[in-house]
Structure formats: structure tokens, C-alpha cells
Amino acid sequence: MQQKQQLNLFSFTMIVVGLVIGMGIFRSAATSAKHAIDPSVYFSAWIFGGIVALCGALTYAEIGSRYPVTGGYYKVFSYAYHPSIAFAINCIILISNAASLSGVALIGSGYLTKLFPGHAWTDIDKALISVAAIAVFYGINLMGLRMSSRAQN
């Protein structure tokens, strides 16, 4: 029998922080602060967003503890609704995650190109860097849970 793969607390925490915060925080925080009416409005919005994110995390934790099965969204939605609806929701999640992944990769390539200011980077260069980054991290994830958690940490 194969031993069950597990993450330690630090690796799990880093994955959750990466999923919740992501790279968008580096792009949106300065713009939000600049357009806020007052600093208290800006910080209140972040606190409110944190509370909403905490509610979402607690909801996922409750669903995961109530239905401890492999299969992710599909299993939960097929149990709650119907397998055809679960399939449709899974397709929507797949497409939206791919779109957000490309956005995050483009933001990351924008930051990476700023490390080399002497070169005139075009949008095609940034897109190629994004594709390369996605391919590298896809390959790392294919190597297994341990390798992907090391890369995340």
C-alpha cells in the first residue's frame, strides 16, 4: 500500500497564502491607496476583504471536513446538485483558473523585466516569459507534491 502524501504546516500555509494573496496584491494595492478618499477607507476595505476571505476559507474547511473525498469541486457539487451541473461548474473553474494564471504570469513577467532595465522589452517578450514560467512551474508540479511544495515555499 502506498503511503499517503502529506504537507507539513509550513508548506500548507505557504500554499494557502499564495492562493489567497497571489501576485495581484503587488499590482492593486498602490492603485487602491492612490484612489482612496481617506486612508481609513483604504484600510477598512482591506479589513473587510480579509473578513470575507476568512469566511470563504472557513466555508471550504467545513465542506472539506464534512465530505473528506478526493475529486474536489466535482464531488462536492455532484453530491449537492447533479453530476451534469458539477461537470459544468468544473469546466467553468478550469477556464477561469487558466485565465487568472495567465494574468498572474503576465504581472510576474512585468516585474521580471524590470530587473533588466537596459533591454527594451516588448509585449511579445513578456508573453514569452509568461509562457516559459507557466511551463516551468507546470513541469515542477508534474514532479509531485513534495517538489511543488518546495518550489512554492
Q: What is the pLDDT along the chain (153 residues), one digit of tens a residue?
A: 566 667 788 887 887 777 777 666 767 788 888 888 888 998 998 899 889 988 988 888 888 888 888 888 888 889 889 999 999 999 999 999 888 888 889 988 988 999 998 888 999 999 999 999 999 999 998 998 888 888 887
pLDDT of residue 97: 87
Which residues, 6 or more positions from 131, have their beta carbon under 8 angstroms from its beta carbon? 105
Residue 127 has a CB neighbour count (10 Å cut-off) of 14
Amino acid at 67: Y
| pTM over cut 0.85 | no
**Spatial distance between the Cα atoms of 148 and 153, rounded to a whole number of angstroms:** 9
Distance CA 4, CA 68 (A): 14
Q: What is the pLDDT of residue 67?
A: 84
**Minimal CA–CA distance to 11: which of 110, 151, 126?**
151
| Cβ proximity of 108 and 136 under 8 Å | no
